[in-house]
Amino acid sequence: MRAMNIITLILIILGGLNWLSVGLSGYDIVAGVFGGASVAAARIAYVIVGLSALWQLMPMVSSFTDGEIAAERHIRHQ
């Protein structure tokens, strides 16, 4: 489960950086890499990032119900 959380978080960050690029320069990196926003590979990438966001809703909801400390128990504090 922890590996899935890390993978989905990385995908969400990459998706956010893509949106930053779209907002600042009008360039969609995913569409550029795959040859257009309507290409099947680009659409699959968008769906995977969207599913990652849905997956990350579980830890977010858990942080509200269990409290912040319990939700962050996997983070090592120094």
Cα distance between residue 7 and residue 10, in whole Å: 5
Residues 10-20, mean pLDDT to the nearest whole number: 96
Question: What is the identity of the amino acid at 8?
Answer: T
pLDDT (0 to 100) of residue 14? 96
Residues 39-57, mean pLDDT to the nearest whole number: 95
- Phi then psi for residue 22, to 5 deg, are -65, -45
Cα distance between residue 4 and residue 8, in whole Å: 6
What is the number of other CB atoms lying within 10 angstroms of the CB of residue 30?
21
pLDDT band, very low/low/confident/very high, at 24 (cuts 50, 70, 90): very high
Q: What is the mean pLDDT of the chain?
A: 87
What is the number of other CB atoms lying within 10 angstroms of the CB of residue 45?
21
Q: What tokens were used for 39?
A: 């290409």
